[in-house]
Chains A and B, each alone.
Chain A
Amino acid sequence: MHSNAPKEGDASQSAQTGFRGWLNRRTGLDDMLRTALDEPIPGGARLAYIFGSGLLFIFLSQIITGVFLALYYVPSADHAHTTVAYITKVVTGGSFLRSLHSYGASAMVIVLLLHLSQTYIYGAYKGRRELLWVSGCALFGLVLGMAFTGYLLPWDQRAYFATAVGTNAISEVPWIGESLTRLLRGGTEMGTLTISRFFVAHVFLIPACIFGLVASHIFLFRKAGPAGPVAEDPYHPKLQPEPFYPRQVLMDLSLTALLIAGLGVLAFFVAVPLGPAANPANAQYVPRPEWYYLPIFQWLKYWHGSASVIGVLIIPMILVIGVIALPFLDRSIERRPWKRPVAMGAYAFLACGLVGLGLRSQYQDKHDPGIAQQEAKQKIEEQEYMRKPFEPEFSSASLAAANVALADPLAAKGKTVFEAHSCNACHGDGGVGTAAAPALVGVSAKFNPDQLAQLFEHPTAKMTAGGMPPVNFPPDEMKSLIAYIESLK
């Protein structure tokens, strides 16, 4: 910025003056913007290409709403449900943000499936796009992982049991299944350690992987170039290109606007419910996963016993490996769907299979009177819980908690003796201690009742110096006072 500073940057950059010019010389912002916006698309802009940007937008929205929800959320089995209830019922806009985050997860899966289908049907994984496809597959897995881990966090009945079933399903994997389930849950049972693990995965681990993979996905996409329409050669584009900006940008933004409007209206008018707090003892609860996991849920029903290795491990493994390895297996440069009967047949089979499994699951639930009845009951319980006003959690230091400990009537009487003689003046309410005298909480570990009685009658020199008078109450009062002090833990 010094007047004698040597000229820097190339001619076009240094030609700019003022703040914009300085910023440009320092950052190369204009070049970056030009690279980003002038990407040529062979054959021109099309609505079919909008899903990738849509996904980026929803991911951004999930990050923002997620960060804000974390302002109030506490990942622990004894607070998670209360804090989500607080967000939903008390905090301004809390129900809206939580609904936005929850619907956003479903929207993410839907747009992801559309993005994947478009890439597959257009043969846009062909040519030099193997790694682009593989990174996309990894992102798909991570998004499903986000949905799975996030679902548990509210710790209501629905979340608890769906995750119990989900983690149980993993134990069906031969040999390592049990260990894997224990690893996920942080123990054999679901509990507060499960929440911690799912929270860390949902908030730190998976998002970090998604950031890295989204960056490499976009980098690989720009490196290979857009594939263009189905008639285009995946290696040697021939069609007249059109830059990304403005027409494709406008199309992408129209999907974003549609998503904002759709999710916003949905979240505003149809709040995502929160059910009663998880009660692991509820043996009647019929757990059901979120819609995108229904096909897997249904599929697992068909595999039991020794055959389960095939259904739980071998078939899914073949499928996953087949999908990931697709661009390596399918090396033809033919992209027109009508010339790729095998690929399209496999797609139709898989899509119909998944949709069919999901519908079958719904159908079975509707036509099983026991399950249908229980599901209706669960829905009513959820609605009833939503109508109840928010109930704050009693802090553990609270009186209610202290009184629970005083189930012993002798100790309860001792408490009145303690207060009537102003012992609490120095030793504090509940014997927590003050500046004037030490706490009595936990003294039972040091002195047995006889030793306490002895100390009451003959305080030590140190106690006397601190102002503790000898205590000579009637025997029944002494007994109850000692019982009370012994109960302070």
Chain B
Amino acid sequence: MGDRQEDSVEMWRKKFSPPEPAPGERRSFLGALLALGSVCVGGLLSVPLIRFALFPILRRTTEVEPSPVGPLSDFSNLSEPLARTIQTEQLDGWRKSVSEKTVYVTKDIHGQLCVLSSVCPHLGCTVPWVGERSEFVCPCHGGTFAPDGSRVSGPPLRGMDTLATVIQDGQLQIRFQYFRQLVADKEVVG
């Protein structure tokens, strides 16, 4: 296999080994230029990569799509809180989940239309309206709330949470949110 000739490459290397590069300015100048060029091109190329990786962080936080509750005319003559089931859509990257939530359309102390979340501010059970007692009674730990959602008795530290409403084309819409439980002040979660 021509092994007798094997050592010759080393001999050739020695014979032709290039002279120690003269501490020439040209060589180091070229090197610096190449390094600078590479850094610039590399920097330029990394821009789309960084934008790609940071997309979920830099994206304009799209607000939760408002969920329709019903036409305003349905709520013009409210005598007691009215339960409505709404659908909320949550986007998580490339997946979305739709869930149903019960909300109550009622009137606040000033007689204005408002929407309450049915999630108990105590431990998150769903609070039903009990018509016979004219109050909301949480079945879990007995917290009770007035028709406007304010706390009456029991372990909850605050009244039922009101949800942001939007009125568009005579339709009542809300943005459903969850609030921290077991605290006295309303505080958005997530």
B140: which A residues are within 8 A, CB to CB? 425-426, 434-436, 467
A128 to B7, CA, bound (A): 10
B99: which A residues are within 8 A, CB to CB? 398-399, 429
Q: Is A246 in contact with B5, judged by CB distance below 8 angstroms?
A: no
CB of B32 within 8 A of chain A?
Answer: no
Chain B binder among A91-99, A111-119, A176-184, A356-364: A91-99
What is the size category of the interface that chain A forms with chain B? 35 or more
Chain B binder among A45-53, A192-200, A232-240, A471-479: A232-240
B128: which A residues are within 8 A, CB to CB? 422, 425
A474 to B120, CA, bound (A): 29
Given the known interface contacts A395-B96, A397-B97, the answer about A128 and B125 at a Cβ–Cβ threshold of 8 Å is no
CB of A68 within 8 A of chain B?
Answer: yes
Q: Is B102 in contact with A236, judged by CB distance below 8 angstroms?
A: no
Q: Is A393 in contact with B125, judged by CB distance below 8 angstroms?
A: no
Q: Is A260 in contact with B49, judged by CB distance below 8 angstroms?
A: no
Contact of A395 among B21, B34, B87, B95 (CB under 8 A): B95
CB of A211 within 8 A of chain B?
Answer: no
Q: Is A425 in contact with B96, judged by CB distance below 8 angstroms?
A: no
CB of B17 within 8 A of chain A?
Answer: yes
Q: Is B52 in contact with A393, judged by CB distance below 8 angstroms?
A: no
Q: Is B125 in contact with A93, judged by CB distance below 8 angstroms?
A: no
CB of A249 within 8 A of chain B?
Answer: yes
Q: Is A96 in contact with B91, judged by CB distance below 8 angstroms?
A: no
A422: which B residues are within 8 A, CB to CB? 126, 128, 139
B58: which A residues are within 8 A, CB to CB? 92
Closest to B41 in A: A260
**Chain A 74-89 residues near chain B, CB threshold 8 A:** 79, 82-83, 85-86
11 of the cross-chain contacts (CB-CB < 8 Å) are A65-B49, A68-B52, A79-B94, A85-B94, A130-B1, A394-B95, A398-B96, A422-B139, A425-B125, A426-B125, A426-B139
Q: Is B16 in contact with A40, judged by CB distance below 8 angstroms?
A: yes
- What are the interface flags for B48-87 relative to A under an 8 Å C-beta threshold, 1 for contact and 0 otherwise? 1101110100110000000000000000000000000101
- What are the interface flags for A326-337 relative to B under an 8 Å C-beta threshold, 1 for contact and 0 otherwise? 000001000000
- What are the interface flags for A386-429 relative to B under an 8 Å C-beta threshold, 1 for contact and 0 otherwise? 00001011110111100000000000000000010010111001
Q: Among the interface residues B96, B100, B126, which one has the most CB atoms of the partner chain A within 10 A? A: B126
A434 to B41, CA, bound (A): 56
Seed contacts A243-B18, A425-B140; 5 additional CB < 8 Å A-B pairs: A82-B95, A128-B2, A241-B16, A395-B92, A398-B99
